[in-house]
Structure 1
Amino acid sequence: MMSGVLRPGQQYEGATGDQGVSYGRIKPEGVDTTHGAILYLEDIVVSFDGFKAINNLNLDISVGELRCIIGPNGAGKTTMMDVITGKTRPTSGTAFFGQTMDLTRMSEVDIAHAGIGRKFQRPTVFEQHSVFENLELAMKMDKRVKTTLFARLNSEQKDKIAAILQLIRLDEQEQRQAGLLSHGQKQWLEIGMLLIQEPQLILLDEPVAGMSDAETARTAELLNELRGKHSIMVVEHDMGFVTEIAQQGKVTVLHEGSVLAEGTMAQVQADDRVIEVYLGR
């Protein structure tokens, strides 16, 4: 499907990850998406004590695509995201970010720096800090202690935070303590904290779980606004929400660690295999 050969000017340098495992670290020179895809998973297998949580999984996501991933519990959705972000190493198979970044050879930190951001189901914000301070802390900048303590934001950085606040509809809450936000607002803030780091691929794990109907509708609006500006993978069980954001894009159905079906929402809803194992009649 693709070559692991690096393009001219992009080189691996040695790095040591957790437990002394050596990974390849790619210098941050951008993601090569000349073939139109930002993520390739090919024949991925993840085996835990003989149980295959992922079984010959093949998946690719195009640049700027919003892809919805659905499927029953235990289908391998979370494990797939763990592989993409470096939390879990596949037993076999290949995983590439763009044409040249081999995710199986990179640490979690390197993958995040390369441009893959992940939001877990439960929001994790700095609850004792204001909304503005949360975005400031998440912004790409020198995180050395001395620099962080004494750095002042320049006008460009302030404008960037203001734009994110408006996008996530928290511009009137910027001085509010994050711990006082509603569940949905915390979810939006965490999405904003991802966006301010300028990821090229965003992974969202059940972003509307626990939200009110109004918050769910607003989250659908937000993701539709992000469509085309970022490549986004959304794992979700709320079929009404998926319908709102899938539009004519692809929906991938996972079952027993592999792709069961793929197509538009209407196509997968009409698929007898999907009805049998997930949607019901």
Structure 2
Amino acid sequence: MSEVLKPGQRYASEPGDAATAYGRHKPEGVDTSHGAILYLEDITVSFDGFRALNKLNLDISVGELRCIIGPNGAGKTTMMDVITGKTRPTTGGAWFGQTIDLTRMTEYDIAHAGIGRKFQRPTVFEQHTVFENLELAMKMNKRVKPTLFFRLSSEQKGKIDEILKLIRLNGQEHRPAGLLSHGQKQWLEIGMLLMQEPQLLLLDEPVAGMSDAETARTAELLNELRGLHSIVVVEHDMAFVEEIAQQGVVTVLHEGSVLAQGTMQQVQSDDRVIEVYLGR
């Protein structure tokens, strides 16, 4: 982990640069010159006197896959709500890169800036095909006139083909999304997010309700995305977390703040984490 400093001087280390089948990860329009793409500083969210977040501090490096775990009510969803502009913090700062203050932006502007969020239940256009879902999600001019006369370029078709392979749905592109399995719908929604070219992906319990085989394939997918996008995964499935955490950082939230942080092995052996979450 790089050292965490304040906005304008923080994040001393430079990230690595990873290549992909569809390009190299270089956040555009986001100043990540000091190595981190997200920084939460002393975030507090109060609802009628109850602190859902309590002076939460968190930083995510460029290209990092961070797992966030913790008991129900720990503040995981509220944290994601703050990052995406759904909830305004009572106090504290939320920064996307060095200069983008998320607390001053709308949900739309945050999404447009490069933060994509996937909720636990998949949201796809079930009457449209897999290909059409990806086409509809593509980052482009959505005004009426350009949309009426829009035709996919060969480059855009190529990008959809690459995403189809990545999300394990090549060969299913003409199938209505409503006929996909639960796991396939989850993959399609991840693909739809990727079509929007996000710099930061927030995934809320991505394997909830999946079969063992689908869970394993989702772990493979996220490991392939590691380093290509910055990813925050909130999850309760500890076997899945072990698969994707590898030697990365796992953050444990409890009562709205960070209880413990480190490798999966370190947090699993932490007595405080065992007491409040993992059990003995």
The two structures share one fold, judged by TM-score above 0.5:
yes
Root-mean-square deviation (CA, aligned residues, Å) is: 1.2
Report the equivalent of 1:53: 52
Report the equivalent of 1:166: 165
Structure-2 change in CA distance of 1:237 and 1:3 (3 Å): closer
Report the equivalent of 1:248: 247
The letter of the residue matching 1:105 is: R
Identity of aligned residues (%): 85
Distance in 2 between residues matched to 1:141 and 1:126, nearest whole Å? 18
Report the equivalent of 2:6: 2
Distance in 1 between residues matched to 2:7 and 2:135, nearest whole Å? 38
User: Any conservation in 2 of the 1:116–1:201 contact (CA below 8 Å)?
Assistant: yes
Distance in 2 between residues matched to 1:149 and 1:189, nearest whole Å? 25
Unmatched 5+ stretches in structure 2: 10-26
Distance in 1 between residues matched to 2:103 and 2:173, nearest whole Å? 39
Give the deviation of 1:89 after TM superposition.
0.3
3-state SS of 2:252 partner: strand
Matches within 5 A, 1:172-187: 172-187=171-186
1:192 aligns with 2:196: no
The letter of the residue matching 1:104 is: T
User: Any conservation in 1 of the 2:167–2:191 contact (CA below 8 Å)?
Assistant: yes
1:38 aligns with 2:48: no
Report the equivalent of 2:116: 117
The letter of the residue matching 1:230 is: H
User: Any conservation in 2 of the 1:202–1:231 contact (CA below 8 Å)?
Assistant: yes
User: Any conservation in 2 of the 1:4–1:102 contact (CA below 8 Å)?
Assistant: no
Give the deviation of 1:146 after TM superposition.
2.8
User: Any conservation in 1 of the 2:86–2:107 contact (CA below 8 Å)?
Assistant: yes
**CA distances 1:141-170 after superposition (whole Å, capped 9, x unpaired):** 111123223210001100000000000010
Report the equivalent of 1:202: 201
Distance in 1 between residues matched to 2:90 and 2:67, nearest whole Å? 25
Matches within 5 A, 1:77-88: 77-88=76-87
Unmatched 5+ stretches in structure 1: 6-27
Misfit runs of 4+, over 2 Å: 1-5
3-state SS of 1:143 partner: coil
The letter of the residue matching 1:264 is: T
Instruction: Tell me the TM-score normalised to structure 1 length.
Output: 0.90
Distance in 1 between residues matched to 2:259 and 2:6, nearest whole Å? 23
Structure-2 change in CA distance of 1:32 and 1:137 (3 Å): same
The letter of the residue matching 2:241 is: V
Report the equivalent of 2:21: none
Distance in 2 between residues matched to 1:127 and 1:64, nearest whole Å? 31
Distance in 1 between residues matched to 2:148 and 2:73, nearest whole Å? 44
The letter of the residue matching 2:6 is: M
User: Any conservation in 2 of the 1:38–1:98 contact (CA below 8 Å)?
Assistant: yes
User: Any conservation in 1 of the 2:69–2:252 contact (CA below 8 Å)?
Assistant: yes
Give the deviation of 1:4 after TM superposition.
6.7
